[in-house]
Amino acid sequence: MTYKSWYGRCISSSRKLYIVCSNNDLKNQEQKMKKFIIGAATAFLMASGSANAAFVMYMDDSSTTGIDRIVQDDTLAGVLTSIGLTTSGDAATGAGVVMYTGAFGSFNVNVTTGVSKPVLGATGTLLDLNSVNVSGGSGTLTIGLTDTDFLRGGAGFLNFQIGGTTDGTISAEAYMDAANTEFGTGILLGSMDASGSAFAYTSAGTTVDTTNPYSLTLIASVTHTGGGQITSFDANVVPEPSMIALMSLGFIGLGVAARRKQSK
């Protein structure tokens, strides 16, 4: 049974229960039922392991309570994720692109887009996060993007790259998680900090040798000290061939060159 059909049955059951409730008990029954549905759904997702594996993005202003915006690929508001219920529908259509545009907290402009598979390859190892943020006052905004079930089929490098401009400060990091969990932080691929100008960063590369599915996560925090400040950036995780593979290609090239020289 899929999560959506299971969740739909819970909602259907809850509606039948409301019919037999008295008006005085309706609000209490509704609150209890909501708690039951969320608790049962969480237990179901935890028990089913990969059932909650999804392409998810969040935006959180530190001055507000809770996570301000949670968006999941190709879903509407009210869908349960590993970090809570989605608060907004995905503004992008089609699998592999998740988008939010709007205002919240100290930021009156936020346009954020995440891109993953299958847009960037069927099970490829690319994850991209692009964001433009304008503040109405001082504040800190944290943006997270995660996707699961990446496959690379053997040894290689994963690199974290980011570039952009900021009127404030920005910090960012990228993770690979062999447990294949949403927002998993098993292996740090790279991290950076920048302030007050254009910036660019590329990590040294992290060796990854697995044929099992894994997750990738990008997290960036933007801090502005006043209104009218803007930060825009593009961050991604990209694959590189392993050093062993590069050396092997180099040796093959030397061998071909030597044979050509001998044949002359």
Residues in contact with 217: Cβ distance below 8 Å, sequence separation at least 6, in sequence order:
127, 144, 145, 146, 174, 175, 177, 182, 183, 184, 185
Counting DSSP H helices and E strands in the chain, the numbers are 3, 15
Q: Are residues 2 and 81 in the same domain?
A: no
Q: Are residues 44 and 58 in the same domain?
A: no
Decide if 239 is inside a domain.
Answer: yes
In this structure, the number of other CB atoms found within 10 A of the CB of residue 156 comes to: 20
Q: Are residues 159 and 199 in the same domain?
A: yes
Decide if 215 is inside a domain.
Answer: yes
In this structure, the number of other CB atoms found within 10 A of the CB of residue 93 comes to: 8
Whole-model pTM: value is: 0.73
Q: Are residues 60 and 93 in the same domain?
A: yes
Q: What is the DSSP string of 145-179?
A: EEEEEE---EEEEEEEEEEEEESSEEEEEEEEETT
Question: Containing H/E element for 101?
Answer: strand 97-104
User: How many domains is the chain partitioned into structurally?
Assistant: 2
Q: What is the DSSP letter of 70?
A: E
Which residues are 232's β-sheet partners? 132, 165
- CATH assignment of the domain containing 129: 2.60.120
Decide if 260 is inside a domain.
Answer: no
CA 183 to CA 146: how far, in whole Å?
A: 6
Q: Are residues 108 and 208 in the same domain?
A: yes
Structural domain harbouring 3 = 1-48
Q: What is the pLDDT of residue 210?
A: 87
Q: Are residues 35 and 119 in the same domain?
A: no
Q: Are residues 96 and 26 in the same domain?
A: no
CA 130-132-138 angle, to 5 degrees, is 130
Decide if 262 is inside a domain.
Answer: no
Rounded to the nearest 10 degrees, the angle between the axes of helix 23-48 and helix 3-19 is: 160
Decide if 178 is inside a domain.
Answer: yes
Decide if 152 is inside a domain.
Answer: yes
b/e map 161-195, b = 16+ CB within 10 Å: bbebebbbbbbbbbbbbeebbbbbeeeebbebebe
Q: Are residues 92 and 65 in the same domain?
A: yes
Q: What is the DSSP letter of 123?
A: S
Which residues of the chain register pLDDT less than 70? Answer: 1-53, 124, 241-264
| Percent of the chain's residues with pLDDT above 90 | 58
Q: Are residues 32 and 101 in the same domain?
A: no
